Amino acid sequence: MTVQAADNAVVPVEKTGNLQFLRFAESIAIPVGAIIASALLFAVFLLLIGKDPIQFYALVWTGGFGSSFSIQNSLQRAAPLILTGLAFAIPARIGLTMIGGEGALVLGGFASAAIAIPLVSGGVPPLVTLPVMAATGIITGGLWVGFTGWLKYARGVNETIASLLMSYIAIAIMNFFVEGALRDPASANKPSTMPIGDAYRIGSIPGTDVHWGLAAGIVLAIVLWVLMSRTTFGFAARMTGGNLRAARAQGLPVGWLMVICCMIAGGCAGLAGFFEVAVIHGQANASLVAGYGFTGILVAFLARQNPIAVIPVAILFGALAAAGGVIQRRMDMPDATILVLQGMLFVVLLVSDTLYGRFKIFQVKATGDRT
Amino acid sequence: MNDVPAAKGHAPSLQAIGMTKVFGPLRALDDVSINVDAGSFHALLGENGAGKSTLVKCIMGFYSGDKGQVLLDGQEVSIRSPRDARANGIGMVYQHFTLVPSLTAAENLVISRADAPDIIDWGKETRALAAFMDTMPFRVPLNAQVSSLSAGEKQKLEILKLLYLDQRFMILDEPTSVLTPGEADEMLGLLGGMAARKEITVLMISHKFREVKAFCDHFTVLRRGRFTGSGDAKTVSVADMSAMMIGDTPIRERSGRVQSAGGRDVLELAGVFADDNDGASVVKSVNLKVKAGEIVGIAGVSGNGQSALVEVLSGQRPLADGGIFIRGERFEPNRGAYDKFKVFGLPEEPLKNATVPKMSVAENIAFRSFDKPPVAKLGWWMSPGPMKAKARDLIARYRVKTQGPDAPIETLSGGNVQRAVLARELSGDVDVLIVANPCFGLDFASVSEIRSQIMEQRNKGAAVLLVSEDLDEILELSDRVAVMSGGTINYVSKIEDTDRNTIGQHMAGH
C-alpha cells in the first residue's frame, strides 16, 4: 500500500456515539409519532360517528392493561402475534415482503393436530407427543413459506402475491381434511379434527393465565435478533436485503439465504399454529383462521422489522384486541372497530416510513466540504 | 396548427447576473454571472458539484434562485418554472433522453407542444412537420419508432424538438456522453454551424476539453459554486482552463506505467454469451485474454453489452453460454472462487453496485472479510471490534471522509464511497481486477487517485479488465484496447498501434 496521507486529508473527529444515538432516537420517535397521529385520526372518526374518544381510549387502557386479568388477557393474545410478527420481519430483513404468515400458521396448526391423532390414540405420553407436534408445526410452516421463497429465487415469482395466495391454499387444504378424512364425527356444527384431549393440552406459565407460547415467542425473538445482528448469516442476509446487486457481486448465495429466511419465517408461524392447537383450541378447525398472520404484518411494520421490538408491539396489539370486547359491551360499538383503528394505524405507518432522514434534529451536522 | 415555428427565428443572447442559490448549509451558487452572446456556442465547464447544473436549473426555472436576474436579449425575464423558460424560447437537452421510446419521431414532436390539440389531425401535422424538416440542416426519419433510432439520431431528435418548439436558446447537458466520437463531432459541428448562422445560441455543459476547443467559441468556468473565469475557447489553453476548474486542489501524481515483461494469461473469457432481463442476447461470443500485469480496456458506446459483460463477471447476471477461466481453471463467480483466485472489482456507480447504502461504512468495508477471522469467530459469530478497527485503519489510509465508521455509507459523497470501495477491494493481494467506469461522476482529484490505484495494481502484477465509456480513460490506462459493439468484440489492438479515430470507427460498428 502506498497511499500517502496527503496534507489536506482531514478525517473528521468521530461522532460515532452521537450518530448511533440519533438513529436510535429516530427509530423510536417516528413509530411512536405514527401511533399518536393515528390515534388522533381515529378520534376524529369517533367524533364523526358520535362517540366519545376519551371514553374509548380510557376503555382501551382498562381493557388492555387496567387489571391483572386484562394484562394477562393482552399477553395471551400477544403470544401468536410475536411469532407471526417474526414471520414477516425476518424475510423483510432480506428484502422480501412475505405476507403468508396466516397460511403457515393455519397449516402448521393443522399439521400438528393431525399428527397428534395417531399419537394420542396410541397412548404416546404428552412429553413425547407435544414436542413432535411442535416440530411438525414448525417444519410444515417452514416448508410452506420456504417454497414461496424458492419460487421467488428460482422462478422470479412475486413473493408478496404468491405468499398471499398460498395462504388461501393453506386454509383450503385444512378445510379439505377437517371436513373430510380427518373430521371428528362428534364435531357436528363446527367440523374439527379429533381433540387431543386435556391431558395433552399445554398449561399456563405457573402463577399466571398466560400460556407458554408467550415465553416461546420472547425467546425466539431474542434468538432471531442475535442471529440477524451478530452472525455472519444475519450480516449476509442484511447485505442481500439492502442491495441485492452488491450481495451478488460479493458472491453470496443469495438464493439460499432467501429460502432459509423464509423457512425461519414459516417455522415461526407454524409454531404459533401449534400453540393455538395445543393451548387454545385443542383441535384444528376454522378457528385457526383468526387473522393473527395478517396482524403480524402490522406488528412487524411498527417494530421496523426488529425482532426485539416485535415483543412490545405485539403486546400493544394484544391489548387492543383484548379491549375489543370491553368496547363492544360498554360503548355499543361493533367488535370490528378495533380493526378500523388497526387499518388507520397501518396507513399512517406506511406514510411515516417516508419520514426517515427528514427531521433535522436526528441528523448529525454535515462536516463541511463533501467533495 | 398555425404556429409552425419559422426556421429563421433569431438567436437570443442571455445573461445571468449574480445568481445565488443556497441549499441548507451549502451555497451551491454564489454570485455567479454568465454572459452568452447571441449566436455563440458557449461552454460551461466545471467539476462535479461545481454548480453547473444548479445554474442551468435556475435558468430553466426548476429552481428559483435566491438572488440574481436573467436577461434575455437585454430584457429582464422572470422564469419561475420550466413552462416560463419554454415560453421565453429557452430549451434544454438532458443527459438522458426524454423522448417516449414507443412513439414515432413525429408523434414525439407533436406531443411535446404545449398547445397540442386534444384531437390531433395527423395528416395536417405530418405535412407541417415535413415542411419544418425541409428547413432543418439535419433529418431524422419521422415515421420511425424512437426506440429503433440510434443514440445519435435520438440526440438529433431532441435538438429538433427544441427547434420545432422555437426554443432558440439551447442548454445542452453533456450531450455527447451517449454518442460515439464520430456522432458527437457531427452533431457538435451542425450545432456550431447553426450558431454561426445566428439561428441558435447554445450553452453546453461539458467535461471534454477536446470538444470545447474544437467547437465552442466562449467558455465560462465554475468551481465550488463560484465563477472562476471565462474567455475565448479558441485562444485560452486547456491547461489554463483546467487550472480554473480545479484551482489549487492537489492532484496525486499518476502512477507511471512500469514496463512488464509480458506475464502469462490469467483471465480468459471463452465464448461468453449473456442475455438481458427479457431473454434477448446482449453479449455474443466474447473472447478475450488478459495477462498478468496488463490492463485491457474495453471501449464502446453505452448499451453495447459492456454492462451485461461486467455483470456476468461479477456474478450479477448468469452466463448463458461459454466460460470464464482464471489460470486455466473454470471460474464461477461465487464467494469461494473470489477468494481462491483473488478476484476483486470496482463496479460503476458504487453506491448502487458495490455497497449497501443503509449499512455503515465499517460494515461496507467488511464485505470481503466479514465471514473470515478475525471478524468471524468459529465461522459464524461476528465481533464488531476487529471489524471497526480494520475500518478505521482503511478509512485513514484511503482518506475516506466520513463522520465515522458507523455512519451509513449513503451519507458519503460519491468520491468517498468509491474510496471506501477501493479500500475494501484493493487493500489485499489482487490477481484479477474487474473495473467498470470507475470514475463516472467523480471530481478530478478522485479520478486521478482512482486511476493511479488501478495502474498500481497492474504494476504489481494484477490482470486488469477495464470497461469504460470514457475513451480518454481507456487511452490513458490500457496496455491493449478492445472495442465492443453490438454485444461482441470486433477489434483488439495494442494501445501503441491504434488511435482515437480507429477505435471510434469500431465503436460505431464499422
Give the CATH number of the domain where residue B83 resides: 3.40.50.300
CATH numeric code, A52-332: 1.10.3470
Question: What DSSP assignment string belongs to B429-442?
Answer: --SEEEEESTTTT-
Is-contact B41 B239, C-beta < 8 A? no
Are B73 and B177 in the same domain? yes
Q: Does B373 contact A at CB distance below 8 Å?
A: no
Instruction: Give the pLDDT band (50/70/90) at residue B131.
Output: confident
pLDDT given for residue A248 in this prediction: 92
Instruction: Give the pLDDT band (50/70/90) at residue A95.
Output: very high
Who among B315, B359, B399 is closest to A242 (CB)? B359
User: Distance from A297 to chain B by nearest Cα, in Å?
Assistant: 22
Query: Residue ranges per domain, chain A?
Result: 52-332
Question: What DSSP assignment string belongs to A287-356?
Answer: GG-SSHHHHHHHHHHHTTT-HHHHHHHHHHHHHHHHHHHHHHHHH---TTHHHHHHHHHHHHHHHHGGGT
Are B94 and B210 in the same domain? yes
User: Distance from B371 to chain A by nearest Cα, in Å?
Assistant: 6
Q: Does A243 contact B at CB distance below 8 Å?
A: yes
Instruction: Choose the final residue of a domain: B384, B409, B428.
Output: B428
Are B95 and B219 in the same domain? yes
- pLDDT (tens digit per residue) in A146-169: 999 999 988 889 999 999 999 999
Cα–Cα distances in Å, from B473 out to B76, B430, B436, B461? Answer: 43, 21, 11, 20
Q: For residue B171, is it within any domain?
A: yes
Number of domains in chain B: 3
Are B422 and B456 in the same domain? no
**Does the CA dihedral A226-A231-A237-A241 come out positive or negative?**
positive
pLDDT given for residue A269 in this prediction: 97
Contacts with B353 from chain A: Cβ below 8 Å: 245-246, 249
Instruction: Give the pLDDT band (50/70/90) at residue A371.
Output: very low
Q: For residue B181, is it within any domain?
A: yes
Q: For residue B54, is it within any domain?
A: yes
Q: What percent of chain A has pLDDT over 70?
A: 93
| Residue A87, C-alpha cell as written in the block | 414471520
pLDDT given for residue A1 in this prediction: 37
Backbone angles phi, psi at A94, to 5 degrees: -100, 10
Least confident of A174-178, B257-261, B301-305: B257-261
Q: What are the strands, taking DSSP E only, across B188-264?
A: 201-205, 218-223, 226-232
Bridge-partner residues for B288, per DSSP?
B269
ipTM above 0.90, yes or no: no
For the entire predicted model, the pTM comes to: 0.78
Residue B250 has pLDDT above 70, yes or no: no
Q: For residue B155, is it within any domain?
A: no
Query: Residue B409, CB half-sphere, CA atoms under 13 Å: how many?
Result: 31
Q: For residue B128, is it within any domain?
A: no
Instruction: Give the pLDDT band (50/70/90) at residue A13.
Output: very low
- pLDDT (tens digit per residue) in A125-151: 999 999 999 999 999 999 999 999 999
Question: What is the pairing mode between strands B321-326 and B329-330?
Answer: antiparallel
Are B313 and B284 in the same domain? yes
Residue A14 has pLDDT above 50, yes or no: no
Are B320 and B403 in the same domain? no
Are B258 and B325 in the same domain? yes
Instruction: Choose the final residue of a domain: B178, B212, B246.
Output: B246
User: What whole-number distance in Å separates Cα of residue A171 and Cα of residue B253?
Assistant: 69
- pLDDT (tens digit per residue) in B389-400: 999 999 999 888
Is-contact A107 A174, C-beta < 8 A? yes
Are B242 and B176 in the same domain? yes
CB atoms within 10 A of CB A97: 14
User: Distance from B313 to chain A by nearest Cα, in Å?
Assistant: 9
pLDDT given for residue B240 in this prediction: 84
Is A8 in Cβ contact with B401 (below 8 Å)?
Answer: no
| Residue B345, C-alpha cell as written in the block | 472489482
Q: For residue B117, is it within any domain?
A: no
More confident of the two residues B338 and B447? B338
**Does the CA dihedral A23-A25-A28-A31 come out positive or negative?**
negative
Are B41 and B175 in the same domain? yes
Domain extent for B327: 252-342+430-510
Instruction: Choose the final residue of a domain: B246, B277, B306.
Output: B246
More confident of the two residues A76 and B3? A76
User: What whole-number distance in Å separates Cα of residue A248 and Cα of residue B257?
Assistant: 33
Are B190 and B322 in the same domain? no
- pLDDT (tens digit per residue) in A229-270: 999 999 999 999 999 999 999 999 999 999 999 999 999 999
Are B95 and B196 in the same domain? yes
- pLDDT (tens digit per residue) in B155-183: 888 888 988 888 899 999 888 777 778 88
Is A6 in Cβ contact with B334 (below 8 Å)?
Answer: no
Residue A286 has pLDDT above 70, yes or no: yes
Are B181 and B203 in the same domain? yes
More confident of the two residues B6 and B428? B428
Q: Does B510 contact A at CB distance below 8 Å?
A: no
